[in-house]
Amino acid sequence: MWSFIKNREPNIHMKRLFEPFLSYRHFRTRAVDRQNTSSTGLYGFDHLKSPKGFQRFVDEAIERSSELIDYISGMPSSVEIIRAMDEISDTVCSVVDSAELCRQTHPARGFVEEANKASMKINVYLHFLNTNHTLYNAVKKAEQDGHLLTEEARRAALHLRIDFEKGGIHLPSGKLDRVNQLNMDAHKLCREYGENIINDPGYVDIFPASRIPRQIQHLLKPIYRLTSGVSKESLGSYEDEQEEGFQIMTEPRTLFSVLQLTPDEQVRKMAYLKGNSVPHANHEVLDKLINSRHELAQIMGCKSYAEFVMQLNMASSPEVVVSFLLEMSNMVKEKADEGFNTIRNLKRDVCGQRCVDLEPWDEAYYTTMMKSSAYSLDSAVVASYFSLPQCIEGLKLLVKSLFGARFDSVPMAPGESWHPDVLKMCIHHPEEGDLGFLYLDLFSRKGKYPGCATFAIKGGRKISETEYQLPVMALVFNFLRSHDSSIVRLNHGELETLFHEFGHALHALLSRTDYQHFAGTRVALDFAETPSNLFEYYARDYRVLKKFARHYSTGEVIPEKLVKSLNGARDMFAATELQRQIFYSLVDQTLFGEQLSVPRDTNSIVAHLKRQHSNEKHVEGTHMHIRFSHFLTYGAGYYSYLYAKCFAATIWKKLCQEDPLSPTTGTLLRTKLLQYGGAKEPADLLTDLVGDGIVRYHNGGIVPDVTSCLEEMKLLDDKNRHIGK
């Protein structure tokens, strides 16, 4: 029932029956009240004024859910059953999502520990809910009796029933017990995998410090070692001297910077080998997870975990996905080969014929060199136009131009924030009022979740004919403060990331669904990344950038020539990057696809697929899959990013490209796409938005039309054109 948690028309009669429940307000966050100035707890929840408040937060969620279960057991009407089920989901989600956000971002150990306890306790309760026959039977009754009058209500009943059955509720007790155990094992293994990545990022010590380019030294930790110095002639002895070096922590962001910008090949090699061989403990964790997921799928009557998870996805089957990926792999191979040869030839020109081949630790460095040379790009110059305050102005511009609303900072009540740097924003429409709230946690700090992510604190839902629960979201980034500047400046890739995550936030903040179950990004997995990919285009369009991207000291508007250079550099090796994403997707499908009778070696699988679908050499002893966390969160679903890339390219070309900031464009995006969340079939939403030519029906599933994406990347020739349709 609550599978999204484990990841991410009412009539008068129904309203009257629900009034006793609606008065029970301790789960309504104060964040929806911008005028409140009295003391509160984290995210506006009164219970979370102290770490121990998480205990009561969980207990009251369970108490409230129990009341609703009792209500449902009285067999009210079908509409009331779905409403009550959705309120249970909303109540439990408040705890799950708040605990997860706290676990990942709160600087106080006490809060993190209590959030961990709350997370474990609520997950135990989720297993009770997912195996509750009273709820399951009520959902089946609601689905069968034909009294659900809206498409969204009927869709909610269908999805709830399928979610229950994916939890094994229809199985005999012995099999159900095993399914529950496997689900709990998988949850623990996913958490362990993530913790291992944080606890064992890998380190490389480099001496002397001069081997590290100055522009990335602020990312690294200075270290020192003693060396024997020059003889003191007068004393006839030697004096020890300190030599300065740097320690590279090979977590992905730092590793990429080192590989991009370090001329010393041996430094790049050491960093690459270490960064792609840790954490060792995840070999066993991933193997256990693959086995647990496969056993679960087989108990549920599926050939593979990939088949199991695709039941409500557009693709519908692993066969459809793999066929799509192999088709794309063939289409990009020739251009990807050309790109690889170009980079290899550059290395040979720079290093001489002694350089036999392009090594995996070379690609980022020589690619960056070629892009900078071809387009005269200087990373410091680029970043000078993207100060973080101006980039936030860019988000405000999007909201104003597209949706006619303001995106403003609002004050927080005492106790609401988890760190002094956190901002609280509100989207406010002049006619509709407040539409939703967003926390921005922008800067890197010790102990914080290391990547970028979107957290749903509250999903939107219709409470009554006159009241709507406003969505509350949090965006988490890890932008770095420079040691020598008070102004944080982003590179262009970071700007795209900011707009990407904001696309997720807008999907949630602008959705207006009857049920929290469908709010915002609670959609089919292979549709979820579409709005976020679409909003990346706004970070690349000069007509948009010139309105907010200004030099941090002079105020000069970003030159159009610079934007063209950025986009030209981005497109230079587009086929290579697309090929890499196809490779990742194929690894994901294979790891969670059909299993052979003999145990499989994941290292061999990854090496084999890399040789088939990538130009990058496989280096023995490296294991990219042991810290690619998308294999956990998107298990058998990583292909969704490629789906989204294609969908977004078509939407941009057909709807946005002519006038990206047009209010007409914004109205269409909001009323035909964003407002529905998951309340309608994704293919119907996409077709209604741009017309035919965005999806294809293939072997019982749906795949994107790739034409716009490949045209944009200049990869569509006459040979491939018929395949893209």
Consecutive 10-residue averages of pLDDT for the chain (725 residues)? 37 28 34 66 97 98 97 92 96 96 96 96 91 95 90 95 94 93 92 92 96 94 81 52 94 94 97 96 96 96 96 96 97 95 93 83 96 92 96 98 97 96 97 98 91 94 94 96 79 97 98 96 96 98 98 97 96 95 97 79 94 95 94 94 98 98 98 98 98 94 96 76 53
Structure tokens, 696: 């294809």
Same domain (yes/no): 248, 142: no
Structural element, H or E, at residue 326: helix 318-351
Distance CA 134, CA 231 (A): 86
Note whether 55 and 144 are same-domain residues.
Answer: yes
Q: What angle do CA 108, 111, 113 make, to 5 degrees?
A: 105
Q: State whether 148 and 220 are in the same domain.
A: no
The rounded Cα 48 to chain-centroid distance in angstroms is: 26
Residue-level pLDDT at 507: 98
- Domain co-membership, 390 together with 505: yes
CA distance 555 to 650: 35
49 and 162 share one domain: yes
48 and 90 in a single domain? The answer is: yes
CA distance 197 to 391: 30
Q: Is residue 32 part of a domain?
A: no
Whether residue 321 lies inside any domain: the answer is: no
Query: Residue 135 belongs to a domain with what CATH number?
Result: 1.20.1050.40
Q: Which domain holds residue 426?
A: 382-524
State how many domains the chain has.
Answer: 3
Q: Name the nearest CA neighbour of 454 among 107, 106, 100, 117.
A: 100
Token pair of 239, please?
A: 């004096």
Domain presence at residue 703: no
Annotated catalytic residue 616: no
88 domain residue, yes or no: yes
Query: Strand, helix or coil at 160?
Result: helix
CATH of the domain at 437: 3.40.390.10
How confident is the model over 628-664, as pLDDT tens digits?
999 998 999 999 999 999 999 999 999 999 999 999 9
- Inside any domain, residue 60: yes
Residue 11 lies in a domain: no
pLDDT of residue 36: 61
Same domain, 399 and 490: yes
Indicate the pairing of strand 695-698 with strand 472-479: unpaired
517 within some domain: yes
In angstroms, the Cα distances linking 557 to 543, 546, 550, 568 are: 11, 6, 4, 19
Q: Following DSSP, what letter does each residue of 182-243 receive, concatenated? A: HHHHHHHHHHHHHHHHHH---EEEESSGGGS-GGGGGGSEEEEEEEEEEEETTTTEEEEEEE
Residue 183 in tokens: 């689900």
pTM of the model: 0.92
Same domain? For 256 and 158 the reply is no
Contact call for residues 619 and 585 (beta carbons, < 8 A): no
End of a domain among 497, 524, 551?
524
Q: Which amino acid is at 708?
A: S
> Do 426 and 491 fall into the same domain?
yes
Side-by-side strand order, sheet with 221-232: 203-206, 237-249, 221-232
| 652: DSSP letter | I
Question: Are 336 and 576 a contacting pair, CB within 8 Å?
Answer: yes
Q: Report helix, strand or coil for 367.
A: helix
Predicted local distance difference test score (pLDDT) of residue 289: 96
How large is the greatest C-alpha to C-alpha distance in the chain, in angstroms? 102
Residue 650 in domain: no
- Cα gap 81→331, rounded to integer Å: 49
Taking the C-alpha atoms of residue 423 and residue 417, their distance in angstroms, rounded to an integer, is: 8
Q: Are residues 152 and 206 in the same domain?
A: no
Question: Of 363, 501, 616, 712, which one is the catalytic site residue?
Answer: 501
505 & 389 share domain: yes
